[in-house]
Structure 1
């Protein structure tokens, strides 16, 4: 399945990989934003990812509606299928972000992630976390919802367990042997998984969760801060075209991985570029702050909290001047005020 001699590594592919790896190496320096700003970036990216990944599969919820739903996620009661799918995707992504180091590439973990994705989907209760038992070829439909043709045939229910076992074993070996770059292994794993379509439903969403997991395990730690799913949603026509072009001959002796590899690497490049621009904007905002305001933020970052008295002792600046700086930092969203009067203190948002 994943063999170096079936891949044509073109200069274009090498350039994509080199650019992505350069950003991966530079992220430690780029990521020196204050924790609260990184947290804000991640929250926005997570909302975009959840909204885009579920809309690709037919959900109608906007990012704003997704954000409202996430703010009440603890309710655990969702009126529509769209809301059920968003809630499942949100909790699964949070699990991956929190525990990616412990989630190895195994069939059991893949099934668990599928179960988690569909945990709130009532109509999927009978098959979540289980390989398909009925054919699920990918079909094309007209405007009325009537099926007009088969885009490509997926693995049969009978063949699925063996093909999944082979896929996971080959991918694990490719990652450990390092004969192929991990970005190429991740791309090929994803397109073969979608060609197998191992579960009755939820395969597209699962493939994007697994892509994030594999990228994090390969050291691309910036992934949670920029949405790959939104890039795919904005290029949905190219996404499906590249899948069809590659999947049609995956099982042949000479599979053509190029259409999918180029789409996948180009999407990762766009994800990277979006994040680089966001980081630069954040740095410009912070760079525009007065030096005294920056010292207040640095003190809060180092000690977890800061008071006006702390900065009076540190800098000798008058309390009235400092009150203006603290007030401005709260207004701009850099600090949060806790308490009042003489007991007031501030922390990073």
Structure 2
């Protein structure tokens, strides 16, 4: 029987309170219905980059954006890995039954590792061999997961707890516990980290944490990979998850606060034109850019939105027609400024 061991420290309680407050702000923001698709797309792309980068994927964020936005066919293992991750995230509701089962985890792993493993028969299948977690360069072993024959029972015990003993538990705590325990069990020959992180995201999604699609925890992990590894290792000796959950909750707060700041900024911009001018997400983004810069050029818009010069000019033309921006200068020196239209 699985029973997680941890303490609700002041840190954890304070993090949860701040997370709940930020979640409320985001959920009630007027901008969300309009900006929903863009926020999700951006978060999915960033998650696909950072989660695979943690595992050593060489693609940078711009390369990942191009790969996904241009619907390119993968030509390398690195591209396949990123696209697999994005596709699972983008279809997360496909895996989100009311009850998470062994088949849920196996399906996520199968789709994550499609065309990646040396032995394809291990895609979506529990390992049947011993594995080690450590530094491939120093050969130092940090963790020896349970024997392969124990894996099915350990996963079933974890799922029994998840589906029957978590009704009164905050979703972030549930996700953090599941994340750690899947890493500890290491059910697969490869892809355990990616599967654990995606399953944590799935838990947030299925437990009415409906803004989890807007932020990426993987970016937080990736910015200090050693801190991520150390936090996971902190529970290995006596199986006390307290330090790990403090780290996990801090990561959720960090990530959700970034979304809150962006949403409040966007809400502030759109409120200036409320009920008078209809704006698209891209137009809002350009006006947001002009909040930070007094003058912008066509190339600034292209780079920010990752669009062609023609698409950028189309946005500029619409904003000029709505009397929100005007051009100054000529030719290559043409710049655009906000004319501070007051409805």
TM class, shorter-length = 0.7 to 0.9
1:42 to 40, 43, 49: 40
**Match for residue 217 of structure 2?**
228
Pair 1:125-2:126 in alignment: no
1:155 to 138, 146, 155: 146
Helix, strand or coil: the match of 2:141? strand
**Match for residue 10 of structure 2?**
11
**Match for residue 321 of structure 2?**
327
**Match for residue 189 of structure 1?**
178
Shift of residue 268, structure 1, vs aligned partner? 0.4
**Match for residue 115 of structure 1?**
110
TM-score computed with the length of structure 1 as normaliser: 0.76
- Larger-Rg structure: 1
Pair 1:83-2:79 in alignment: yes
Report the CA distance shift for 1:122/1:161 in structure 2 as closer, same or farther (over 3 A). Answer: closer
Shift of residue 207, structure 1, vs aligned partner? 0.8
Report the CA distance shift for 1:329/1:48 in structure 2 as closer, same or farther (over 3 A). Answer: farther
Describe how 1:284-295 pairs up with structure 2 within 5 A.
284-289=268-273, 292-294=276-278
1:94 to 90, 95, 110: 90
1:275 to 246, 249, 259: 259
Report the CA distance shift for 1:325/1:206 in structure 2 as closer, same or farther (over 3 A). Answer: closer
Q: Structure 1: how far apart are the matches of 2:209 and 2:318?
A: 40
Shift of residue 36, structure 1, vs aligned partner? 4.1
Report the CA distance shift for 1:33/1:324 in structure 2 as closer, same or farther (over 3 A). Answer: closer
TM-score computed with the length of structure 2 as normaliser: 0.77
8 Å CA contact retained: 2:95, 2:108: no
8 Å CA contact retained: 2:26, 2:260: no
Helix, strand or coil: the match of 1:141? coil
8 Å CA contact retained: 1:41, 1:225: yes
8 Å CA contact retained: 2:216, 2:255: yes
**Match for residue 190 of structure 2?**
201
**Match for residue 253 of structure 1?**
none
Helix, strand or coil: the match of 2:252? helix
Shift of residue 184, structure 1, vs aligned partner? 2.0
Report the count of equivalent residues.
Answer: 290
Helix, strand or coil: the match of 1:219? coil
Q: Structure 1: how far apart are the matches of 2:215 and 2:323?
A: 26
**Match for residue 64 of structure 1?**
62
Mind listing any 5+ residue stretches in structure 1 that lack a counterpart? 251-255, 298-322, 333-349
RMSD: 2.5
8 Å CA contact retained: 1:184, 1:261: yes
Mind listing any 5+ residue stretches in structure 2 that lack a counterpart? 281-316, 327-343
